[in-house]
Amino acid sequence: MKVVYCDIVNVDGPILQVKGVTGVGMGEEAHLPGYGYAKVVKIHGDTVFMQSLQGSLGVTTTQKTEFTGKPFELPYHPEYIMGRVFDGIGRPRDGRPEVQGKRIPVEGPIVNPYRRAMGQGYIETGIPAIDGANTIVRGQKIPIYKLPGEDINGIVARIIRQARVAGQENFSVVFGGLGLLNEEYIFFRDVLEEAAERTVMCVNLGSESPIERLNVPHICCAFAEQLALAGEHVLVVITDMLRYADALMEVSNAQGKIPSRDGYPGDLYSRLARIYERAVNFGGERGSVTIMGVNSVPDNDLSHIVANLTGYITEGQLPVQSGKFVVMKCLSRLKGLVVGKETRKDHGPIMDACVSAYANALTLREQKEMGFSITDEVDIAYLKFADEFEANFLPADQDLTLDQTLDLGWRLIKILPRRVLRIKEELLNEFYPK
C-alpha cells in the first residue's frame, strides 16, 4: 500500500520538509507528481528533509509526496547506452528514446578494498608523459590538475579518443561533464560521435540545477560498474570536480549546514571519496573501473582544499600547464605494480633515467639564469636533453604506444654520454640505440 503525504511544512530552495513521516530511510527516492523526484538527505524525528532533483520552483505546501522505498535508480541496458548522452537525472538528452532495461542504484555500495585485484593490467592513453613516466594501473583513481589558464578540454578529448587496454577490445569510456558551457557540450558531443561505439556521456550544463550536477559522477560510476561486471575495462573521465565541490557548497548552504574551510561543507572529503573509491579492478573474467577526474586548481595553489583533499583520496596526480604535463610534479603511486612486470623490462630504468636527467637539467638552467657559465660538455648535453625532452616527450598532443614511448625515451637519453647513465650494462647493451 502506498502512503501519500500532503504536508510539506517548508520549502527552502531545493530542500523540502515533510512532517509526520515514518518508515523512510536515508537516500530513499521520493516521487513528487508533476515535479519529478527528490532524495531523502536528512531525517529528524518524523520530519524528513528531501532534496528535489529538479528544483522546487512551483512546489506548494499541498504537494503530494510518495516515498518509493528504494534508492535513486536509473534504467540500464548494455546494448542501448553506448553512444548515448544523459542528463543529471539519467534522462536522455540526445533526443532518442529512454533506455529500457533493469534499474540500477545510482549510489550503490563500494567494493571492499580487500576484494579488489591490484596490479593487473594498465591503461594506455597514448600520451608519453602518462604512459611512460606515470603509468595508470587498471582500477586506479587519479586526478588531472588543471592549472590556471589551461585549456584542458583538448587533452580530455584526446584521452577519450585514444585510451585503450593493450591487446584487448573490451574497453569503454564513460564521460561526465559538470557545469559545461554550451560550446563545451557541443565540443564533447562531437568527440562522442567519433567514438560512439565505446563511449557514453552524462552531462550537466552550467545553466542547469547544481543538484543534478552532484548526481553526474555517481551516474557515470553506476554505468561503469555494470559494464565492468560484464567484463569491460572502463575509464571514467569527469570534468571538472571543482564544479562538483562548488555545487556541493551551494546545496549544503541551502540545507543549512555549517560551512567549514573556505565555505565548503565539512563532509567534502567523504563526498569526494564516495566517488573516487568506486574505482575497482574486479579481476578474473570481470573488468575494472579506472577513474580520472579533472580538477581545476585556483591560483595555481595545490593546497586549495579541493585539490588537497583529492590528493589524500587518490593515488597520484597529473598537473597540466601550457599543454604539457608537469612531469616533476606528476605521480602515479601504483605504477610499480605493473612497470617492468607487465611492461618491458627497460620501462622503469629508462623512465627513471629520463626524469633524473631532466631534473638535473632544470638545476643547470637555474644556475645559467643566475649568471653562471655552463661550459662543461656533459652539462651542455643535459641542457640539450631538457630542450628535446620538453619538445618531444612532455606535450600531450601525441598518440604513441607504450613501446614507442619507451623507444622515444632511449632516443632522447642518447643525447647524454653513455658513461653518466645509471642503467645496468645489460640493458644498455640491449636497448641503447646503436
Same domain, 205 and 248: yes
Asked whether residue 390 carries a pLDDT value surpassing 50, the answer given is yes
Q: Find the domain containing 376 and state its range.
A: 347-431
pLDDT tens profile 245-291: 999 998 888 777 778 888 888 889 999 999 999 999 998 888 899 99
Last residue of a domain, one of 51, 71, 91: 71
pLDDT at residue 322, as a whole number: 87
User: Would the CA dihedral through 153, 157, 159, 160 be positive or negative?
Assistant: positive
Same domain, 352 and 266: no
Last residue of a domain, one of 337, 355, 379: 337
Same domain, 167 and 192: yes
Rg, the chain, Cα only: 25
Same domain, 331 and 389: no
pLDDT at residue 348, as a whole number: 93
Asked if residue 342 belongs to a domain, the reply is: no
Contact 189, 85 (CB under 8 A): yes
Contact 216, 57 (CB under 8 A): no
Q: What is the pTM of this model?
A: 0.90
Same domain, 13 and 139: no
pLDDT at residue 223, as a whole number: 94
Question: Residue 115 belongs to a domain with what CATH number?
Answer: 3.40.50.12240
Same domain, 61 and 80: no
Same domain, 264 and 280: yes
* 408, three cell numbers: 622515444
Backbone angles phi, psi at 318, to 5 degrees: -135, 80
Asked whether residue 23 carries a pLDDT value surpassing 90, the answer given is no
The number of domains in the chain is 3
Same domain, 391 and 284: no
Same domain, 182 and 278: yes
- Taking CA atoms, 100 is separated from 34, 71, 80, 97, in Å, by 22, 19, 8, 9
User: Stretch 399-428: mean pLDDT, rounded?
Assistant: 92
Asked if residue 15 belongs to a domain, the reply is: yes
pLDDT at residue 55, as a whole number: 63
Q: Which of 64, 56, 67 minimizes the C-alpha distance to 22? A: 67
pLDDT at residue 91, as a whole number: 86
How far is 102 from 90, CA to CA, in rounded Å? 13
Work out the pLDDT band at 384, boundaries 50, 70, 90.
Answer: very high
How far is 406 from 433, CA to CA, in rounded Å? 12
Q: Which of 234, 205, 231, 213 minimizes the C-alpha distance to 222? A: 234
pLDDT at residue 177, as a whole number: 95
> What is the DSSP track for 144-157?
EEE-TT---HHHHH
pLDDT tens profile 62-114: 778 888 778 888 889 888 899 999 988 888 998 888 888 888 888 877 888 77
Question: Residue 9 belongs to a domain with what CATH number?
Answer: 2.40.30.20
Contact 55, 62 (CB under 8 A): no
- H or E segment and range at residue 321: strand 316-321
Same domain, 91 and 131: yes
Same domain, 98 and 172: yes
* 8-state DSSP, 294: E
Which of 39-48, 179-188, 374-383, 388-397 is the least confident region?
Answer: 39-48
Asked if residue 275 belongs to a domain, the reply is: yes
How far is 228 from 222, CA to CA, in rounded Å? 10
Work out the pLDDT band at 1, boundaries 50, 70, 90.
Answer: very low
Asked if residue 401 belongs to a domain, the reply is: yes
Same domain, 64 and 101: no
